[in-house]
A and B are shown apart, each in its own frame.
Chain A
Amino acid sequence: SQELEQSPQSLIVQEGKNLTINCTSSKTLYGLYWYKQKYGEGLIFLMMLQKGGEEKSHEKITAKLDEKKQQSSLHITASQPSHAGIYLCGAVPYNNNDMRFGAGTRLTVKP
């Protein structure tokens, strides 16, 4: 089955600092998704990456997918308290059609 390893599990940063969350797959991916979630609430779609080497940005969040389509990073620049939450990477592998998730990264931003 698809395994996604996400790191770090938790992250505490001071407001204004940059941070990076990583997601690594054991298999090549159809698509790699990043979501944000506040526990007990639904998922907020952030970005989806499909092509090797692809990079997308939205406001202060940038996501990249490596050329082999097995590793992705999510980078937040000048973090704010509003960035706090759980970040999940999800992936659809080539030989399947359902989405599996990494364990999540719990981000705390201290004002």
Chain B
Amino acid sequence: GAVVSQHPSRVICKSGTSVKIECRSLDFQATTMFWYRQFPKQSLMLMATSNEGSKATYEQGVEKDKFLINHASLTLSTLTVTSAHPEDSSFYICSARLGPYEQYFGPGTRLTVT
């Protein structure tokens, strides 16, 4: 089946610094990728839709200047958390869309901001 990877799996950064998370579709091309975040004991919340070659579409309440998304190629999307704060600590999961009914999820990245 289709595989999506995320890197890093865990990252700890200091408050005020930026951190980049990569999402790759390993064996298929994805024109659309999605970024979700998950707080403890909560479900996944869609943050933004990443389209290759165009600007990402952000969900209401998600700061586009804080969560920078770049869909550089058909197999890579990156999420950069800028000027991270402890409240940004969360579990971030990406997914890649293969077809109208098919989305494949990465294993997630746990971000801890100290």
Contacts and interface: CB of A to CB of B under 8 A. Distances in A.
Most interface-central of B43, B93, B106, B107 (chain A CB within 10 A): B43
Nearest to B45: A101
A99 interface: yes
A101 B101 contact: no
Contact of A42 (B34, B45, B101, B105): B105
Interface string B28-61: 0000101010001111111001000000000000
B43 A42 contact: no
Interface in A11-51: 30-31, 33, 35, 39-43, 45, 48, 50
Interface in B85-114: 91, 93, 95, 97, 100-101, 103-108, 110
Given A39-B41, A42-B107, A100-B46, A31 B93 contact: no
B93 A103 contact: no
A86 to B, nearest CB: 8
Categorize the interface residue count of chain A.
20 to 34
A48 B101 contact: yes
Contacts of A90: 44, 103
Nearest to B95: A99
Contacts of A39: 40-41
Interface residues of B, number: 24
B69 to A, nearest CB: 13
B93 A43 contact: yes
Contact of A104 (B34, B43, B101): B43
B108 A42 contact: yes
Contacts of B100: 30, 92, 97
Interface in A74-111: 88, 90, 92, 97-104, 106
Contacts of A106: 41
B4 to A, nearest CB: 9
Interface of A: 30-31, 33, 35, 39-43, 45, 48, 50, 88, 90, 92, 97-104, 106
5 contacts: A41-B108, A43-B93, A99-B103, A101-B44, A103-B43
Report the 3 A-B pairs with minimum CB-CB distance, sorted nearest first.
A42-B107, A31-B101, A43-B105
